[in-house]
Amino acid sequence: MTIKGKACIGGIFEHPARKLGNSISQAELHAQCSKGALEDAGLTFKDVDGYFGAGDMPGGLLNMVDYLNLDVRHLDQTYTGGSSYVYLVAHAAEAIAAGKCSVALLSLADFGRRGTAVRDRGEGIAEQPFEMPYGPVTVNLYAMAAQRHMFEYGTTSEQLAWVKVAASHHAQHNPNALLKNVVTVEDVVNSPMISDPLHRMDCCVVTDGGGAVVVVAPEIAKSLNKPQVRLIGAGESPKDQMGGRIDLTYTGAVRSGPIAFAEAGVKPSDIKYASIYDSFTITVVETIEDLGFCKKGEGGEFVADGNLISGVGSLPFNTDGGGMCNNHPGNKGGITKIIEAVRQLRGEAHPEVQVRNCDLALAHGTGGSLGTRHGSATLILERA
Residue 96 and residue 217 in contact, taking contact as beta carbons nearer than 8 Å: yes
Q: What is the pLDDT of residues 242-281, one digit of tens each?
A: 877 889 999 999 999 999 999 999 999 999 999 999 999 9
Higher pLDDT: 1 or 350? It is 350
The CATH homologous superfamily to which domain 136-205+232-383 belongs is Thiolase/Chalcone synthase (3.40.47.10)
pLDDT at res. 122: 55
- Tell how strand 360-368 and strand 208-216 pair up: unpaired
Q: What is the pLDDT of residue 286?
A: 98
Percent of the chain's residues with pLDDT above 70: 97
Instruction: Please indicate whether the domains covering 8-115+208-230 and 136-205+232-383 agree at the CATH topology level.
Output: yes
Question: Over 50: is that where the pLDDT of 1 sits?
Answer: yes
Mean pLDDT for the chain overall: 94
Going from N- to C-terminal start, the domains of the chain cover 8-115+208-230, 136-205+232-383
Q: Give the pLDDT mean for 283-292.
A: 98
Helix axes 281-290, 157-171, angle to 10 degrees: 100
Give me the sign of the Cα torsion angle 89, 93, 95, 96.
Answer: positive
Run of H or E residues at 61: helix 61-67
Residues in the chain: 384
Q: Distance between CA atoms of 201 and 143, rounded to whole angstroms?
A: 13
Residues 6+ apart with CB under 8 A from 176: 14, 16, 18, 326, 327
CATH number for the domain formed by residue range(s) 8-115+208-230 = 3.40.47.10
Residue 102 near residue 31 (C-beta atoms within 8 A): no
Region for 243 from its dihedrals, namely left if φ exceeds 0, alpha if ψ lies in -120 to 50, beta otherwise: left
Among 45-49, 91-95, 118-122, 331-335, the minimum mean pLDDT is found in: 118-122
The pLDDT assigned to 119 comes to: 43
- 226 and 345 Cβ atoms separated by less than 8 Å: no
- Does pLDDT of 355 surpass 50? yes
Look at 69-78, 236-245, 373-382 and tell me which has the smallest mean pLDDT. Answer: 236-245
Question: pTM of the entire structure?
Answer: 0.95
In the β-sheet with 360-368, what is the strand arrangement from edge to edge? 74-77, 50-53, 103-111, 208-216, 8-14, 229-239, 374-383, 360-368, 273-276
pLDDT tens profile 96-152:
999 999 999 999 999 888 754 444 455 567 777 777 777 788 999 999 999 999 999
CB neighbours of 98 closer than 8 A, spacing ≥ 6?
1
- Looking at per-residue pLDDT, the higher value among 169 and 330 belongs to 169
Residue 353 above 50 pLDDT? yes
Do the Cβ atoms of 54 and 88 come closer than 8 Å? yes
